[in-house]
């Protein structure tokens, strides 16, 4: 199968969601709510989830969806529901040219029902879309990096991925220039990049991307998260030292890290667990990991095992994530295993 329709719809869906996230970012009302796990969620997370699921459900109504959010808070609180619905409505009005392809949403009730389609338990069989409507919500709130991420898992294997990163520069050599890129991939067909335009334009072909292949660690730079609670930055620094990496690490929130490594702004992505009991979520890694693999890299857990997307909503068979060029991956895993030998 070519999965060209899936890729096209995924690209349109994440692009439209970014119109909404951008509107919310530039408005005073972000409606930040703290979830049970203490992480923030905003009107933009809910609105983006409704828009993306609307697009997936219109085109692939038989498919299952694992989405990060649910509509419980919206059902209980009119002061969260109503502004979210306003943003969704305005975004649809602003993107009429794609309504034929990715659909409309006609009421707040329908919006909440779409959000709640993301409750699937995941698993080893069938077609399952994994959606993170705003990955890096903390980055989004601080005006840093965030991403709208959508992956299609087919019989346990990520097969299609689209990643919209509204705050990554189009030209990495000009970090203060135009911002916003969209990356996508189909397994076996490579990864591409194109600018994330204000007016949705999915027919524009993407440019194929390839990861860097630095000859040695002396030339390599690594990417890591901003939040010290999400990965062990002390151990990451120690691994960098062991490997002879001298360049300072680049810190950013969200799957923008996968995007940066895939297009060669950085070379390695280290996400060492802060706790061996934390289970990474499939929506935090589906799209990004495929894009790095299709750009020529290897993505694994800290033991060097492939990420297993077939066991539910989390990556419960894995700990942490390492993304690296093919020629360096084994050496990184050696250093990681040495660093974590007390817990592995
Ligand atoms: N203890 C933890 N360890 C690893 N990841 C965690 C974590 N707590 C939360 N996260 C995840 O880290 C994601 C952000 O990744 P990063 O740190 O790379 O920016 C969050 O996604 P959301 O922002 O969608 O909630 C959340 O799912
Ligand atoms: Mg996330």
> Tell me, what's the ipTM?
0.99
- Number of folded domains in the chain? 2
Among 49, 134, 135, which is best to mutate for testing ligand 1, by the most ligand atoms less than 8 A from CB? 135
Give pLDDT tens digits for 191-242. Answer: 999 999 877 876 778 999 999 989 999 989 999 999 999 999 999 999 999 9
132 annotated ligand binder: yes
Which one of 182, 208, 234 terminates a domain? 208
pTM of this structure = 0.97
Query: Is there an atom of ligand 1 within 6 Å of 161 CB?
Result: no
Residues 167 and 26 in one domain: yes
Residues 186 and 221 in one domain: no
What local confidence, expressed as pLDDT, does residue 165 receive?
98
Residues 306 and 334 in one domain: yes
Residues 59 and 84 in one domain: yes
Residues 327 and 251 in one domain: yes
Q: Which phi and psi (to 5°) does residue 300 adopt?
A: -145, 180
283 part of a folded domain:
yes
Residues 234 and 93 in one domain: no
Label each residue of the chain as H, E or C. Answer: CCCHHHHHHHHHHHHHHHHHHHHHHCCCCCCCEECCCCCEECHHHHHHHHHHHHHHHHHCCCCEEEECCCCHHHHHCHHHHHHHHHHHHHHHHHCHHHHHHHCCCCCHHHHHHHHHHHECCCCCCCEEEEEEEEECHHHHHCCCCCEEEEEEEECCEEEEEEEEEEEEECCCCCCCCCEEEEEEEECCCEEEEEECCCCCCCCCCCEECCCCCCCCHHHCCEEECCCCCCCCHHHHHHHHHHHCCCCCCEECCCCHHHHHHHCCCCCEEEECCCCCCCCCEHHHCHHHHHHHHHCCEEEECCCCCCCCCCCCCECCCCCCEEEEEHHHHHHHHHHHHHHCCCCC
pLDDT per residue rounded down to tens, the chain (344 residues): 899 999 999 999 999 999 999 999 999 878 788 888 888 899 999 999 999 999 999 999 999 999 999 999 999 999 999 999 999 999 999 999 999 999 999 999 999 999 999 999 999 999 999 999 999 999 999 999 999 999 999 999 999 999 999 999 999 999 999 999 999 999 999 999 999 987 787 677 899 999 998 999 998 999 999 999 999 999 999 999 999 999 999 999 999 999 999 999 999 999 999 999 999 999 999 999 999 999 999 999 999 999 999 999 999 999 999 999 999 999 999 999 999 999 99
Residues 104 and 230 in one domain: no
Residues 204 and 237 in one domain: no
344 part of a folded domain:
no
List the catalytic residue out of 21, 91, 137, 192.
Answer: 137
Residues 102 and 67 in one domain: yes
- Hey, which residues does 194 pair with through a beta bridge? 182
Among 227, 276, 320, which is best to mutate for testing ligand 1, by the most ligand atoms less than 8 A from CB? 227
Residues 9 and 137 in one domain: yes
Residues 155 and 174 in one domain: yes
List the catalytic residue out of 21, 45, 159, 267.
Answer: 45
Which one of 143, 176, 208 terminates a domain? 208
311 part of a folded domain:
yes
Question: CA–CA distance from 132 to each of 118, 138, 282, 288, 330 (Å)?
Answer: 10, 14, 9, 11, 29
**CATH number, position 327:** 3.40.190.80
CA 177, 191, 284: angle at the middle one, nearest 5?
80
Q: Which domain holds residue 255?
A: 217-339
Q: Is 45 known to be catalytic? A: yes
Residues 85 and 232 in one domain: no
Which one of 208, 235, 259 terminates a domain? 208
What local confidence, expressed as pLDDT, does residue 202 receive?
65
**CATH number, position 64:** 3.30.540.10
């Amino acid at each position: 199968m070519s999965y060209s329709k899936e890729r096209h719809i995924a690209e349109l869906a994440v692009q439209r969601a970014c119109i909404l996230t951008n509107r919310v970012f530039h408005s005073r009302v972000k409606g930040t709510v703290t979830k049970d796990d203490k992480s923030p969620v905003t009107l933009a997370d809910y609105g983006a989830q409704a828009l993306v699921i609307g697009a997936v459900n219109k085109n692939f109504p038989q498919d299952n969806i694992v989405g990060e959010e649910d509509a419980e808070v919206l059902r209980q609180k009119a002061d969260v529901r109503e502004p979210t619905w306003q943003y969704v409505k305005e975004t649809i009005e602003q993107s009429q040219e794609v309504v034929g392809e990715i659909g409309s949403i006609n009421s707040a009730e329908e919006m909440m029902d779409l959000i709640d389609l993301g409750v699937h338990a995941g698993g080893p069989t069938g077609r399952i879309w994994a959606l993170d409507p705003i990955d890096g919500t903390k980055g989004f709130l601080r005006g840093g990096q965030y991403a709208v991420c959508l992956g299609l898992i087919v019989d346990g294997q990520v097969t299609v991925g689209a990643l919209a990163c509204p705050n990554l520069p189009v030209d990495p050599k000009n970090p203060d220039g135009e911002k916003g890129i969209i990356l996508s991939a189909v397994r076996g067909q490579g990864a591409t990049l194109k600018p994330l335009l204000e007016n949705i334009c999915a027919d524009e072909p993407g440019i194929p991307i390839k990861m860097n292949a630095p000859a040695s660690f002396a030339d390599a730079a690594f990417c890591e998260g901003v939040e010290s609670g999400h990965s062990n930055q002390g151990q990451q620094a120690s691994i960098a030292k062991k490997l002879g990496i001298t360049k300072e690490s680049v810190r950013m929130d969200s799957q923008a890290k996968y995007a940066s490594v895939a297009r060669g702004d950085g070379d390695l992505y280290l996400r060492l667990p802060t706790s061996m009991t934390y289970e990474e979520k499939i929506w935090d890694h589906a799209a990004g990991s495929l894009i790095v693999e299709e750009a020529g890299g290897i993505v694994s857990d800290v033991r060097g095992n492939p990420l297993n997307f077939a066991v539910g909503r989390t990556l419960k068979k894995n700990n942490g994530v390492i993304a690296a060029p093919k020629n360096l991956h084994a050496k990184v895993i050696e250093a990681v295993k040495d660093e974590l030998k007390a817990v592995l």
